[in-house]
Amino acid sequence: MTAVSDDLIRDIEAVVGEAGIVRDTERMPRYLSDWRNAYRGVAALVVRPASTEQVAQVVRLCHLAGVALVPQGGNTGLCGGSIPDMSGEQVVLSLTRMTRIRDVDTANETITAEAGVILQTLQDAAAKVERLFPLSLGAQGSCTLGGNLATNAGGTAVLRYGNMRDLALGLEVVLPDGRIWNGLRGLRKDNTGYDLKHLFIGSEGTLGIITAAVLKLYPAVRSTTTAWVALPSAQAAVQLIGIIRGLCGDRLTGFELMSRQSVEFVLSHIPGCNDRFAEPHPWYVLIELSDTQPDAPLNELLEGAIGEALERALVIDAVLATSEAQVAALWALREGISEAQNHEGPSLKHDISVPVSSIPAFIEATDRRLLERFPGVRIVAYGHLGDGNLHYNISKPVGADDAWFKAQQDAITQVIYDAAVGLQGSISAEHGIGQAKRTAAARYKDPLELELMRAIKATLDPHGLMNPGKVI
């Protein structure tokens, strides 16, 4: 890697114009730290190309000069993947000016969009043609399609529609040497060898720059029902999802689990959020059913399933939302957890997955081990139960100082990752590796898998200029 020369900056500016360069101290900081302010970096400059051709020319110039690039979308990633290092020698390549929806093909049920399109804008574009683009997550107002693909984002509708990998049919990618791979095929069947798009999806900017994608569309949802349910245990939640799946099938689109601690943080810090029940309960789930029929009998279906669970003492109490405002209020209790936890000082995020059946065992054993070794830590466990994905996040004990908590970080994380991997789980279910979990990935991933990953990286990016210091 080499430092950025004035000549290189001039050449890049000749490609992207003045509007495509950010170097001033006023505008640069927002590209140099993440949403949580957990990662900070320094960059030689931020480049904002407006087209695939411009991206290719900038990448080619950096490749020839031996300068490292850090691709960036909405900067909402939770593992520091979009943040440059502290050398000041890297160039941040922001895709946020590439915002065109290139094509909507309702007969093929696809939409083709550029990497900088905000997820919510993509959802709105699908809704305009009475279709659904189903990826749904708390950061959807600011994360981008490119970032969603690069992290293989998940969210709250994965159990019905899959994650980003399942939603993409084709990609356009600028390779580390500046060549453009046009894989923008809208095909559901294409068995002509290795499926290269899957290399780039989830690669977190380490193999190339995704500039556009062809994505699947689904029929618009015309009826939904949403319930907030209190439960005695995580085990009861696993049994409840089984009952609902059996009775409601694919209509189940969301099943989000939350511990009391998670909800308490939201009630304390997010204005306008209220408890739904008079008494606190150990666990809650937010359930959503949806259907493409306008008058599908979803309330009856869900009431039937919850009624059965009540009889089996799996549910303590439940409410069904009766208005759009109530639906929004229930989702606010769920979506507010990330932000609410930020108000409680530094926190440790662990985005783990285990088989759904092992979630109760994971929680029981890990809670016990952590509280024995680190009395008073506050465990904020919540997430996408139907995907076996828990955000098992830890806040420091009330009154403990930040330095003490930081010193315990590695030991706390080890307890959690050992437990997940011990149950055949993963240390990163949906947020990726970035810089946050690079050391942990080296420790917990199969050595053969790591060797294959390094071989792929060396083939596509032999000079290591594409987001160095991330993933592997």
Q: Which residues bind ligand FAD (CB under 6 A)?
A: 35, 70-78, 81-82, 95, 115, 137-139, 143-144, 146-148, 150-151, 153-155, 204-205, 209-210, 338, 430-431, 434, 467, 470
Output the smallest distance, CB 142 to ligand 2HG, in A.
13
CA angle, 63 then 68 then 80, to 5°: 145
Pick what 469 binds: ligand 2HG, ligand FAD, none; C-beta below 5 to 8 Å, kind-dependent.
Answer: none
Calpha distance 390→119 (Å, rounded) = 23
Calpha distance 88→69 (Å, rounded) = 12
58 versus 340: smaller Cβ distance to ligand 2HG: 340
Residues 269-288 that bind ligand 2HG (CB under 6 A): none
Pick what 393 binds: ligand 2HG, ligand FAD, none; C-beta below 5 to 8 Å, kind-dependent.
Answer: ligand 2HG
Pick what 391 binds: ligand 2HG, ligand FAD, none; C-beta below 5 to 8 Å, kind-dependent.
Answer: ligand 2HG
Pick what 386 binds: ligand FAD, ligand 2HG, none; C-beta below 5 to 8 Å, kind-dependent.
Answer: none
Residues 76-135 that bind ligand 2HG (CB under 6 A): 78
Calpha distance 241→364 (Å, rounded) = 19
The token pair that represents 430 in the structure block: 């949906």
Let me know: does 307 contact 249? Beta carbons within 8 Å. no
Could you write out the three-class secondary structure of 217-275? CEECCCEEEEEEEEECCHHHHHHHHHHHHHHHHHHEEEEEEEEHHHHHHHHHHCCCCCC
Angstrom CA distances, 360 to 37, 238, 347, 381, 389, stand at 32, 8, 23, 11, 12
Helices (H), 42-176: 52-65, 119-128, 145-150, 158-161, 164-167
Torsions phi, psi of 370, nearest 5?
A: -65, -45
Output the smallest distance, CB 71 to ligand FAD, in A.
4
Let me know: does 255 contact 285? Beta carbons within 8 Å. yes
Let me know: does 213 contact 112? Beta carbons within 8 Å. yes
DSSP 68: -
Output the smallest distance, CB 6 to ligand 2HG, in A.
40
Binding map of ligand 2HG across residues 237-266, x = CB under 6 A, - = no contact = ------------------------------
97 versus 438: smaller Cβ distance to ligand 2HG: 438
Output the smallest distance, CB 155 to ligand 2HG, in A.
7
**338 counts as binding ligand 2HG under rule CB under 6 A:** yes
Pick what 349 binds: ligand 2HG, ligand FAD, none; C-beta below 5 to 8 Å, kind-dependent.
Answer: ligand 2HG
159 versus 314: smaller Cβ distance to ligand 2HG: 159
164 versus 314: smaller Cβ distance to ligand FAD: 164
**232 counts as binding ligand 2HG under rule CB under 6 A:** no
Output the smallest distance, CB 165 to ligand FAD, in A.
11
Torsions phi, psi of 286, nearest 5?
A: -105, 120
Question: Among residues 131, 160, 216, 349, which is the contact residue for ligand 2HG, using CB under 6 A?
Answer: 349
Calpha distance 203→212 (Å, rounded) = 15
**138 counts as binding ligand 2HG under rule CB under 6 A:** yes
Which among 249, 240, 244 has a CA at the least distance from the CA of 312? 240
Output the smallest distance, CB 264 to ligand 2HG, in A.
16
Binding map of ligand 2HG across residues 356-395, x = CB under 6 A, - = no contact = ---------------------------x-------x-x--
Angstrom CA distances, 267 to 178, 232, 255, 270, 328, stand at 49, 20, 20, 6, 15
Dihedral of alpha carbons 252, 254, 257, 263, sign: negative
Output the smallest distance, CB 19 to ligand FAD, in A.
19
Give me the residues that bind ligand 2HG (CB under 6 A), please: 78, 138, 338, 349, 383, 391, 393
